[in-house]
Each structure stands twice: as structure tokens, then as C-alpha cells.
């Protein structure tokens, strides 16, 4: 990450930034005063950048940033700052908006005082997510404007301008980005780092606005509709929604990344079509769209995921140009699922217009897929030394591998893969303990739930209270690796650190469990397989809900720490005593355990030196290299 460039105060300089860094920079240039977030790919680099910039800019340009316990908490925190008149952002991945949605729908009624932006980082193709929902609909159903950039430059500009738009309309604004924009890099021109000092204000009370009792909600709805009408006028005037003239009867209606894919497809197809790029996804620039579709006979809609623009343009065309031929997802020219690519769009436009794409993508893909049949898959895996691997192994030992394993979302979800196979259900964050409650009434199996430490704080506590209250029986193992690993090692209440490096209050998970009334709570180091297995056996025998905290720092953090302190990693090695039983690779697993022919070897460059495989080996054939060398000499 190039924080140096993100905090650089050199307006006009061109720097090469990640989309998410450009967005963070835009918020700073836009005079953000408060940000709150719960991490989630693909949004995490926006928040990590703001966290670091917040510390770096302290004294030069002051703003506050916190990692909140979950998205609802983050949203409400930012809403509070906005109600007091300060510019605020809440940042989350698409599914996080579901968690925050309760607050979102009602905050629209109250409206924003200080500019308020909700960043929704969507993930078409679900690269790192449990679904690929299209959050443009949130704007529609919550009556909140949605803006969506198409390029990194536009993302930078719009994140800066979004506060102004929000304040002008008196409404929260959803800023939608997608993985391929957030994780693309390009050159942006820096604006100014503001230099106004921060001052605290006195809250100006007004119950008729801020207290949503039914009477106020009813007047609030009217005000909201009036604001949305103003937003519609803005959308129709704004240059962010623009029409590019062409020389044909064909028009392309597009937005988001669809726009850049369409430009490339037109380039390759050598087509001079009209193009309308929509940036305000809600409200839509209906008049501009009307003008646009009046000029053409054939329309191709290019948008990722749901047929959102397509549905709306169909409604608009009914009055304006009923004969318009509309191509998109409904006509089967474009897919409903997954992210677009240039070839998908080139093919879609070509098929809409009865042409052939310039390259036979289908043929290449088919030939490539055929050729790739000899390829071993390389899915993401748990790292060498990952404490989750040890925990899963111990859990299997204790249950005789016969229990039901609801789990949750984090690195540990990778326990779904063989040979661990200790993840049977993953629904949503918090869903592990949640589903276990219902399962405990209806299944015969023992239930062992696994959740991460960050996940525990996010949404597991209410479900755990439910379990205690209702006498639901299962074992909850909190895989406490001292960080939010999956999304890039953000802190959380169980680490006691805070976003911008300040010290926070450390909240031990075991204390939370005990205070709720769980009467079996144990903390164990999963690297000690025997101990962890023994604790698990006792937890399984307990007649109510039991909580086991498997505490051991993430191996990546451990490696970093050792590197910093100049401590050499002591790898393990396989000795001649190996009988080739292969237990270490067929019931346990580690990327450092490599099978060469029928012989297991340890890749020293990968080995983290955790020694867990040493405990797995029934023949004592895995030893620390130090020991092995001493024995030889």
C-alpha cells in the first residue's frame, strides 16, 4: 500500500493508486470528519487506508475513524456524526448493508445534516463473498440516492463530491463500488488535503426530525419524497449522467463497470453507437434517458448483475419510444450471473445486433478448458502454521469425526475442504451459532460450531445469549487468532487495539461468555493438540452450551513478529522413521507438507515451525530440524 501517495499534499500531482485508495483520498479531500466501518472484501483497503491516513494526518487534518463491531454499529455511528452536522462515511461490503439496513431505511426519513455516505462494495462473481447481491436496489427501496463510478478517476472525484451531493439533498447517499473497480489501480490527479481545524459542536435538538415516532415518520415520508424529487432533478441535470453521440440507430445504456467494458467492446467491434452512461443509479435520470432513447431504434443495456437499468428503461420506453428494440438480460444476450468482462460484453452487443464478435471467445475458452483438464486445482488454503488447522484436527479427534459442524465466515471457512472437512454450514456472519440454536432442537448429532474472534463480536453474542436462555446444547469453539485475518488483519474488541493505532479496551471472549451465563468456558492453545482434544471431549460431555476459546495468534502475524524481532523460524523435517502412512497429509494438512512420490517432505521455506504435525505423526518421524541435525552429528 502506498500511504505516502494517499496523504501527499501536492495538488495536481499524478499518482498511481488502487481504486480503494483513490476512494479514501477522495473522502479526505471531501473533508470527511468521521468514518466507521466493519471490514469486508472488497472494501477493506478503503478503511485500512483511512485508518492509517487518520494517524498520519493527525494535527495536519483531523478526522476520526473507527472499526466498529459490525456494520449496523458502524452505520449508526456515522449517522450520529452526520446528525450533529459533521461529514461522515460508513464503509462496508455489500452483505454488510444487509446488517445495517434497519438503520439505513429509517435514517433516510431523518436525513443527513453533515454529508453522509454509505459505501457499498459489491462483489459480482462473489470472489470473496457468500453471495453476489446487487445493492442498487437498496437505493430504490430505502429512497436513498445511489451513485456509482465507472473508473478510478471518477471514483476519486465522486467520493470527494458525494458529501456535497448528500448535503445539497439532505439525504444519505450510497456510493457503490465493485471488486474490479476497488481492486484496480490507475493514475489519479491529487486534489487538496484540507486544512480546517476540527471543532466539536453542540447538538441542535429537534425531536420532530430526529425522533421517529409514527407521527414524525409519516411527515418524514413526505419530506423524503420531496427530497427524492429534488434528487431526480439533480440526476437529470448532472454531467455525471452523460450521452455520447454516435452515428447509427444503436444506443448503449450502461453504468458502473459496464460502461468501460462497453467502450472496449465498441472499439473492437468498430461500432459508432450512441452511449449513455448512468452514474446516479437512483434516482435515475429519467428525462435524459427519455431523450436518449428517442434518438435510436435499438438499445443494448450493458450492466453487471441484475437487470436494473433494463427494467427501468423498459418502463420509460413504453411512453417515449414503444417500438424501441431493447436487448439485455431478458433477451438472453447477456448473462444474469457473474461479473462482466470485455468478451462477455463484446459477445452480448454482437449477438444483440446480429453480428459476430471479432474473436471467437467461445472457441478459445472451450479449447482452454479442455487443455486445463490436466491442471491440479489451487484453491485458497489455510497457511502453514495456521492455528485453525490444529483446532479443526483436534475437534475431529474429540468428536470421532461424527458431529455436525455449523461454521461461519472467515479464513476458517476453508476448513470445508478435505481432509479437514469440519465446516458443514456457512450462511452469513453470525449464522453459525444462529443455526445451531435451531439445529439443537431437531438433530441427533453432537453439534460443534466454529466461529472466528472477529465474527464472535460481530453477530454471535445475541445468538449465544439465546442458547443460554433457551438451554440449547452445543459446543461453540471460538477460533481466536487475535485478528480479523480474512480481510487483512484488522483489530477488533478482542485485540484491544483500535483502528488508528490508539489503545482500546481489551474485551476477552471468555469473559463475555461467562457474563452471559455460559457455565463451561475454557481457553486453550490449539497448537497443543492433546490438551485441545481433551478440553473438547469435556465440552462435548457438558449438558448445556459450552464455549471453548482456541487462542493462538494467526501464523501470518506470528511470522511478522518473528521477522521484526530477528527470530529465526525453526522448521521441522521428516526423518527415516517415516512409514509412509500419510496420516499427516490425508487426515491433517499443511502447505509445507509436500508429497514427493510416496514420501512426505517438509518444505523448509514454508514451514512455520508450529510443531503441530510433529504431534500428528504416530511414529515420531517428524522432528525439529535442530534436533535431527544434532542426532546426526
Partner 1 sequence: MAVRAIERTAVKDKSEEVEEFNIFVSGVGGQGALTASGIIARAAKMSGLKILAAETHGMAQRGGSVSVHLRIGSKVFAPLIPVGRAHVLFALEPSEALRYIEYVSSDGLVVVNTKEIVPPSVNMGDVVYPSIEKIGEVLKEFARKVILVNAHELAVKAGNPLTNNVVMLGVMARAIDLPFSNDILKESIKLTVPEKALEVNMKAFDLGYDYAEKYMREM
Ligand X SMILES: Cc1ncc(C[n+]2csc(CCOP(=O)(O)OP(=O)(O)O)c2C)c(N)n1
Kindly list the residues in this chain that would bind partner 1 in the complex (CB under 8 A). Answer: 14, 16, 18, 41-42, 44-45, 127-128, 151-152, 180-181, 183-187, 257, 260-261, 263-264, 267-268, 341-343, 346, 359, 361, 364-365, 367-368, 371-372, 374-383, 411, 414, 418-419, 486-487, 585-586, 589-591, 593-595
Tell me the torsion sign for CA atoms 20, 21, 27, 32. positive
464 binds, among partner 1, ligand X, none (CB under 5 to 8 A by kind): none
213, interface contact from partner 1, ligand X, none, CB < 5-8 Å by kind: none
When CB distances are held under 5 to 8 angstroms depending on the partner's kind, the choice from ligand X, partner 1, none that residue 342 binds is partner 1
407 binding ligand X? (CB under 6 A) = no
* Beta carbons of 532 and 550 less than 8 angstroms apart: yes
318 φ/ψ sector (left φ>0, alpha ψ -120 to 50, else beta): alpha
Q: How far is the CB of 37 from ligand X (least distance, A)?
A: 10
Piece of the chain touching ligand X by CB under 6 A; list 23-31, 37-45, 466-474, 603-611: 37-45
Say if CB 242 and CB 285 are below 8 A apart: no
Cis, bond preceding 529 (omega within 30 deg of 0): no
The answer to whether 426 contacts ligand X (rule: CB under 6 A) is: no
DSSP secondary structure of 228-240 = HHHHHHHHHH-TT
Q: Is 79 in the site for ligand X (CB under 6 A)?
A: no
Nearer to ligand X, 69 or 284 (CB): 69
Q: What cell numbers appear for 3 in the block?
A: 500511504
Q: Which is nearer to partner 1, 196 or 270 (CB)?
A: 270
Residue of closest CB approach to ligand X: 452
DSSP 490: B
Say which residues have a Cβ less than 8 Å from residue 407's Cβ, sequence separation at least 6: 413, 415, 416, 422, 423, 424, 425, 426, 432, 449, 450, 451
Cα atoms found within 13 Å of the Cα of residue 80, Cβ hemisphere only: 8
Note whether 304 and 258 are within 8 A (CB).
Answer: yes
Q: Which is nearer to partner 1, 180 or 492 (CB)?
A: 180
Q: Are 484 and 38 in contact (CB under 8 A)?
A: no
Q: How far is the CB of 35 from ligand X (least distance, A)?
A: 16
411 versus 590: smaller Cβ distance to ligand X: 411
Is residue 457 near ligand X by the rule CB under 6 A?
A: no
Of 83 and 555, the one with the shorter C-beta distance to ligand X is 555
Find the shortest distance in angstroms from Cβ 182 to partner 1: 8
The dihedral built from the CA positions of residue 389, 390, 395 and 398, taken in this order, carries a sign that is: positive
Binds ligand X (CB under 6 A): choice among 220, 251, 385, 452: 452
Cβ at position 359, least distance to partner 1 in Å? 5
Minimum distance, C-beta of residue 106 to partner 1, in the bound complex (Å):
31
Please choose which of partner 1, ligand X, none residue 99 contacts, taking the beta carbon within 5 to 8 angstroms, the exact cut-off set by kind. ligand X
Q: How far is CA 604 from the centre of its chain?
A: 33
Shortest distance, CB of residue 13 to partner 1, whole angstroms?
A: 9
**Residue 31 to residues 27, 477, 627: CA-CA distances in angstroms?**
6, 43, 59
**Which one of ligand X, partner 1, none interacts with residue 359, CB within 5 to 8 A by kind?**
partner 1
What does the DSSP 8-state code read for residue 273? -
Binding of residue 481 to ligand X (CB under 6 A) = yes
Three-state DSSP at 183 gives: coil
According to DSSP, the residues that pair with 479 across neighbouring strands are 452, 550
Taking a C-beta distance cutoff of 8 angstroms, is the pair 293, 300 a contact? no
- Least separation in angstroms between residue 479's CB and ligand X is 6
Contact residue for ligand X among 409, 433, 475, 535 (CB under 6 A): 409
Asked if 412 is part of the footprint of ligand X (rule: CB under 6 A), the reply reads yes
Give yes or no for a contact between 300 and 246, defined as CB atoms under 8 angstroms apart: no
- Out of 134, 453, 510, 522, which residue is the one contacting ligand X (CB under 6 A)? 453
In this chain, which of 487, 495, 533, 559 binds ligand X, going by CB under 6 A?
487
CA nearest 113: which of 29, 209, 31?
209
- 374 interface partner picked from partner 1, ligand X, none, CB below 5 to 8 A per type: partner 1
Do 345 and 351 touch, CB atoms closer than 8 A?
no
Can you say whether residue 566 is alpha, beta or left, with left for phi > 0 and alpha for psi between -120 and 50 degrees?
A: left
Q: Which does 414 bind (CB under 5 to 8 A by kind): partner 1, ligand X, none?
A: partner 1
DSSP state letters, 157-176: HHHHHHHHHHHHHTS-EEEE
Nearer to partner 1, 131 or 294 (CB): 131
Residue 390 contact partner, candidates partner 1, ligand X, none, CB within 5 to 8 A by sort of partner: none
493 is a site residue for ligand X (CB under 6 A): no
SS3 486: coil
- Provide, rounded to whole angstroms, the least separation between the CB of residue 174 and ligand X: 16
Measured between alpha carbons, how far is 83 from 112 in angstroms, rounded to an integer?
Answer: 6
Task: Check binding of 93 to ligand X (CB under 6 A).
Answer: yes
**Binding test (CB under 6 A) with ligand X, winner from 26, 410, 526, 609:** 410
C-beta closer to ligand X: residue 130 or 295: 130
Terminal CA-to-CA distance of the chain, rounded, Å? 46
* The three three-digit cell numbers of residue 95, written as one number: 452483505
Binding site for ligand X (CB under 6 A): 38-40, 71, 93, 95-96, 99, 130, 409-412, 429, 452-455, 479, 481, 483-487
Amino acid at each position: 500500500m502506498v500511504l505516502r501517495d494517499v496523504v501527499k499534499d501536492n495538488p495536481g500531482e499524478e499518482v498511481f493508486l488502487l481504486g480503494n485508495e483513490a476512494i479514501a483520498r477522495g473522502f479526505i479531500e471531501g473533508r470527511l470528519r468521521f468514518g466507521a466501518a466493519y471490514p469486508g472484501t472488497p472494501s477493506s483497503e478503503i478503511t485500512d487506508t483511512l485508518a492509517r491516513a487518520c494517524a498520519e494526518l493527525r494535527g495536519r487534518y483531523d478526522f476520526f475513524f473507527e472499526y466498529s463491531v459490525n456494520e449496523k454499529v458502524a452505520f449508526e455511528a456515522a449517522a450520529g456524526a452526520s446528525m450533529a452536522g459533521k461529514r461522515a462515511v460508513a464503509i462496508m461490503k455489500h452483505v454488510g448493508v444487509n446488517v445495517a439496513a434497519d438503520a439505513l431505511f429509517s435514517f433516510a426519513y431523518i436525513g443527513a445534516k453533515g454529508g453522509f455516505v454509505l459505501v457499498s462494495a459489491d462483489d459480482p462473481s462473489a470472489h470473496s463473498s457468500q453471495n453476489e447481491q446487487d445493492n442498487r436496489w437498496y437505493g430504490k427501496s430505502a429512497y436513498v440516492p445511489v451513485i456509482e463510478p465507472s473508473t478510478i478517476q471518477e471514483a476519486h472525484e465522486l467520493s470527494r463530491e458525494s458529501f456535497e451531493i448528500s448535503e445539497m439533498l439532505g439525504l444519505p447517499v450510497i456510493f457503490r463500488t465493485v471488486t474490479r473497480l476497488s481492486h484496480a489501480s490507475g493514475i489519479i490527479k491529487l486534489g487538496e488535503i484540507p486544512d480546517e481545524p476540527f471543532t466539536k459542536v453542540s447538538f441542535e435538538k429537534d425531536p420532530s426530525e430526529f425522533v421517529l415516532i409514527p407521527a414524525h415518520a409519516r411527515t418524514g415520508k413526505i419530506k423524503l419524497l420531496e427530497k427524492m424529487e429534488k434528487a431526480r432533478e439533480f440526476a437529470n441535470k448532472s454531467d455525471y449522467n452523460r450521452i455520447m453521440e454516435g452515428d447509427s440507430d444503436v444506443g448503449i445504456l450502461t453504468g458502473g463497470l459496464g460502461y468501460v467494458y462497453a467502450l472496449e467492446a465498441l472499439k473492437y467491434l468498430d461500432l459508432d453507437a450512441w452511449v449513455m452512461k448512468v452514474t446516479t443509479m437512483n434516482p435515475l435520470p429519467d428525462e435524459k434517458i427519455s431523450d436518449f432513447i428517442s434518438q435510436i431504434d435499438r438499445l443494448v443495456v450493458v450492466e453487471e448483475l441484475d437487470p436494473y437499468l433494463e427494467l427501468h428503461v423498459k418502463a420509460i420506453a413504453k411512453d417515449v419510444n414503444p417500438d424501441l428494440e431493447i436487448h439485455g438480460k431478458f433477451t438472453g444476450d447477456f448473462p444474469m450471473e457473474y461479473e462482466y468482462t470485455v468478451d462477455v460484453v463484446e459477445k452480448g452487443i454482437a449477438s444483440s445486433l446480429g453480428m459476430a464478435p471479432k474473436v471467437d471467445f467461445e472457441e478459445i475458452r472451450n479449447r482452454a478448458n479442455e487443455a486445463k483438464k490436466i491442471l491440479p486445482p489451487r484453491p485458497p488454503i489455510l497457511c502453514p502454521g495456521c492455528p485453525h488447522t490444529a483446532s479443526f484436527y483436534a475437534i475431529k479427534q474429540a468428536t470421532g469425526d461424527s458431529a455436525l459442524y455449523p461454521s461461519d465466515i472467515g479464513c476458517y471457512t476453508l476448513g470445508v475442504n478435505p481432509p479437514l472437512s469440519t465446516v458443514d454450514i456457512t450462511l452469513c456472519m453470525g449464522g453459525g451459532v444462529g443455526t445451531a440454536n435451531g439445529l439443537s432442537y431437531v438433530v441427533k448429532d453432537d453439534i460443534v460450531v466454529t466461529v472466528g474472534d472477529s465474527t464472535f463480536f460481530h453477530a454471535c453474542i445475541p445468538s449465544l445469549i439465546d442458547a443460554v436462555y433457551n438451554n440449547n446444547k452445543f459446543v461453540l469453539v471460538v477460533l481466536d487468532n487475535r485478528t480479523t485475518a480474512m480481510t487483512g488483519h484488522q483489530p477488533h474488541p478482542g485485540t484491544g487495539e483500535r483502528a488508528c493505532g490508539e489503545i482500546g479496551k481489551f474485551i476477552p471472549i471468555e469473559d463475555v461468555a461467562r457474563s452471559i451465563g455460559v457455565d463451561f468456558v475454557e481457553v486453550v492453545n490449539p497448537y497443543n493438540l492433546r490438551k485441545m482434544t481433551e478440553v473438547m471431549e469435556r465440552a462435548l460431555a457438558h449438558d448445556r452450551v459450552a464455549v471453548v476459546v482456541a487462542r493462538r495468534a494467526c501464523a501470518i502475524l506470528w511470522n511478522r513478529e518473528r521477522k521484526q524481532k530477528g527470530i529465526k523460524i525453526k522448521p521441522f523435517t521428516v526423518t527415516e522413521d517415516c512409514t509412509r502412512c500419510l496420516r499427516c497429509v490425508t487426515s491433517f494438512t499443511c502447505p509445507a507438507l509436500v508429497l514427493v512420490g510416496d514420501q512426505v517432505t517438509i518444505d523448509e521455506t514454508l514451514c512455520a515451525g508450529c510443531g503441530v504435525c510433529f504431534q500428528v505423526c504416530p511414529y515420531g518421524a517428524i522432528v525439529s530440524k535442530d534436533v535431527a541435525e544434532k542426532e546426526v552429528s
